[in-house]
Amino acid sequence: MSIEPKDFEFFLNALETHENLLHAETQAIAAKHLDTIESILEKKDESLRLLLEAKDLLGEDPTKNKSADKLIDRVIELQKRNAELFKKLVDRQTAKENSEEKSGLKPIDQRLKKAYSKSTFDSNSRLNF
Give per-residue pLDDT as tens, 8-62: 999 999 999 999 999 999 999 999 998 999 999 999 999 999 999 999 999 889 9
> So what's the pLDDT on residue 7?
92
Q: Is the pLDDT at 128 greater than 50, yes or no?
A: no
pLDDT 10s digits, 82-113: 999 999 998 888 888 777 666 666 666 666 55
Whole-number Å distance between alpha carbons of 18 and 50: 9
Whole-number Å distance between alpha carbons of 21 and 18: 5
Whether 128 maps to a domain, the answer reads no
Number of domains the chain is built from: 1
Whether 96 maps to a domain, the answer reads yes
Whether 40 maps to a domain, the answer reads yes
Q: What pTM does this model have?
A: 0.73
Residue 89 belongs to what domain range? 5-117
Whether 122 maps to a domain, the answer reads no
Q: Could you tell me which of 43, 8, 7, 13 has the C-alpha nearest to residue 25?
A: 43
Whole-number Å distance between alpha carbons of 41 and 28: 11
Whether 124 maps to a domain, the answer reads no
